[in-house]
Structure 1
Amino acid sequence: MSDTHTTLRSMHDLGLAAWFGGSLMGAFGVNGAAARVGDSTQRIPVASAGWSKWTPVNAAAIGAHLAGAVGELVTESPRMAAQRGVGRASTLKTALTVGALAATGYSRMLGNRLSRAGGTSVAGVTEPNQQTPQNVAACQRQLKLLQWAIPALTGALIVVTAYMGEQQKPGQVLRGMLGRANGLMHTPKTMAKGGGLMQMSKAMSRNGH
Structure 2
Amino acid sequence: MSERHTALRSMHDLGLAAWFGGSLMGAFGVNGGAARINDSTQRLPVASAGWAKWTPVNAAAIGAHLAGAVGELVTESPRVAAQAGVGRASSVKTALTVSALAVTGYSRLLGMKLEKAGNPPVDGTTEPNHSTPSNVASVQRQMKVLQWAVPALTGALIVVTAYMGEQQKPGQVLRGMLGRAGTLGSMKGIGKMAMTGMTGRKMAMSGR
TM-score normalised over the length of structure 2:
0.89
SS in 1 for 2:122: coil
> How far apart, CA to CA, are the structure 1 residues paired with 2:147 and 2:120?
20
Provide structure 2 residue ranges, at least 5 long, that are not aligned to the other structure.
Answer: 193-208
The answer to whether the 8 Å contact 1:34/1:43 transfers is yes
**1:21 paired to 2:21:** yes
Give the length in aligned residue pairs: 191
Alpha-carbon shift at residue 2 of structure 1 (Å):
4.2
Alpha-carbon separation, structure 1, partners of 2:190 and 2:82? 15
User: Following TM superposition, where does structure 1 have runs of at least 4 consecutive aligned residues deviating by more than 2 angstroms?
Assistant: 188-192
What residue number does 1:184 align with? Answer: 184
Q: What secondary structure does 2:136 align onto?
A: helix
The CA RMSD measured in Å over matched residues stands at: 1.3
What CA distance in whole angstroms lies between the structure 2 residues aligned with 1:176 and 1:191? 23
Which residue does 2:151 correspond to in 1? Answer: 151
Shift of 1:134: 1.0
Q: 1:70 is aligned with what amino acid?
A: V
The letter of the residue matching 1:141 is R
Alignment match, 1:10? 10
Q: 1:190 to 1:9 in 2, by over 3 A?
A: farther
SS of the equivalent of 1:39 reads: coil
Rounded to whole Å, the distance in 2 between the matches of 1:190 and 1:40 is 71
Residue of structure 2 equivalent to 1:51: 51
What is the one-letter code of the residue matched to 2:164? M
Q: Percent of aligned positions with the same letter in both sequences? A: 77
Deviations 1:102-147 (A, max 9, x none): 0100000000001100011100000000001111111001100000
1:188 match: secondary structure:
helix
> Which TM-score applies when normalising by structure 1?
0.89
Query: Residue 90 of structure 1 aligns to a residue in which SS?
Result: helix
How far residue 188 of structure 1 moved from its aligned partner, in angstroms, is: 3.4
Could you tell me which runs of 5 or more consecutive residues in structure 1 were left unpaired when the two chains were aligned. Answer: 193-209
- Residue by residue over 1:12-58, the C-alpha shift from the partner in whole angstroms, topping out at 9 and shown as x without a partner, is 00000000000000000000111111111111100011001100000
Match of 1:104 in 2: 104
Whole-Å Cα distance in 1 between the matches of residues 59 and 126 of structure 2? 22
Which residue matches 1:161?
A: 161
Distance 1:178 1:120 in 2: 63
> What's 2:80 paired with?
80
Q: Which amino acid aligns with 1:178?
A: L
Is 1:80–1:86's contact at 8 Å kept on the other side of the alignment? Answer: yes
